[in-house]
Amino acid sequence: MFESLSDRLGSVFDRLRGRGALNETEVRAAMREVRIALLEADVALPVVREFTDKVTEQAVGQQVLKSVTPGQQVVKIVHDALVEMLGADASELNIEVTPPAVIMMVGLQGSGKTTTTAKLAKRLTEKDRKKVMMASLDVNRPAAQEQLAILGRQADVATLPVVQGQQPVDIARRALQSAKLQGFDILLLDTAGRLHVDQGLMDEMKAVAEVADPEEILLVVDALTGQDAVNVAKSFSEQVAVTGVVLTRLDGDARGGAALSMRAITGKPIKFAGMGEGIDALEGFHPDRVAGRILG
């Protein structure tokens, strides 16, 4: 991921790094290249503007230009600004509550929501040693509930038995009761996907949230859709109290625009990154590591 941005920035900064002296004109020229690199990575224009204005202002300061290693200082300023843009505070899940902690998964159809639900369930089971149950509330797509059950068997995670004909709010109620009775720490609710941001399904999601009172509402979006992913996140956030974003298919995203714009545009932290189709391919999203990866 981020290959092209990383290459572009790498060549800009290689030129600066070794220099014992830099003047303002050179720094401004480098910052113009940073701006172009971010735009080519499909980062939203207002985000690019804010980023380059801030970085340029700091980088042309006398303390930087007069220092012994001005090039390195400029790179450090860019690094710190990238971390901030990605959402400096690495965000943990809010799951240390009286069990069961409820995590509701929402998103468009095909975003990778069901796969991510199973990946997250496995991660919470193995890494965090939690007792996890999953339940599918998707009664719109035939076989959606069965898909989650199959993933549950693969991941060795319990799923709520399917009762044909039951509606989402009732399934949520039953899941909650069952999780309480059976002593599960975490209940993951996989809600129905939607083709686009559609009012009927938004209302269903709100009704489920009211019954389930989730600790986390995680929005799953596909990184490959670039700025659309950010726009989708913005629309969802306006309707329900999204607490974090899971960005899927980051493994195939050479540009990284969605990841870089998400926090600034939606105000929501990216909490996890999908890095492949496998059930283990889910990573925590750590802004400092990502910035480090981008700057090489």
289 backbone dihedrals φ, ψ, rounded to 5°: -70, -40
Q: Which of 46, 161, 183, 252 binds ligand GDP (CB under 6 A)?
A: 252
Q: Does 228 bind ligand GDP (CB under 6 A)?
A: no
Token pair, residue 34, equals 């940073």
Q: Give start and end residues of each alpha helix (H) in 87-143.
A: 113-126
Q: Which of 114, 237, 243, 261 binds ligand GDP (CB under 6 A)?
A: 114
Q: Is 251 annotated as a binding residue?
A: yes
58 near ligand GDP (CB under 6 A): no
Q: Is the dihedral of CA 126, 110, 249, 231 positive or negative?
A: negative
Residue from 191, 237, 248, 266 binding ligand GDP (CB under 6 A): 248
Residue 225 known to bind ligand: no
175 carries a ligand binding annotation: no
Kindly tell me which residue out of 58, 115, 136, 225 binds ligand GDP, with binding defined by CB under 6 A: 115
Give the SS3 label for residue 60.
coil
CA–CA gap between residue 135 and residue 111 (Å, rounded): 18
Helix (H, G, I), strand (E, B) or coil at 193: coil
User: If DSSP codes are grouped into helix, strand and coil, which group holds residue 40?
Assistant: helix
Pick from 8, 122, 123, 249 the residue near ligand GDP by CB under 6 A.
249
Q: Which stretch binds ligand GDP (CB under 6 A): 52-60, 200-208, 235-243, 244-252?
A: 244-252
How far apart (Å, rounded) are the C-alpha atoms in residues 139 and 170?
A: 11
Binding site for ligand GDP (CB under 6 A): 107, 109-115, 193, 248-249, 251-252, 274-277, 281
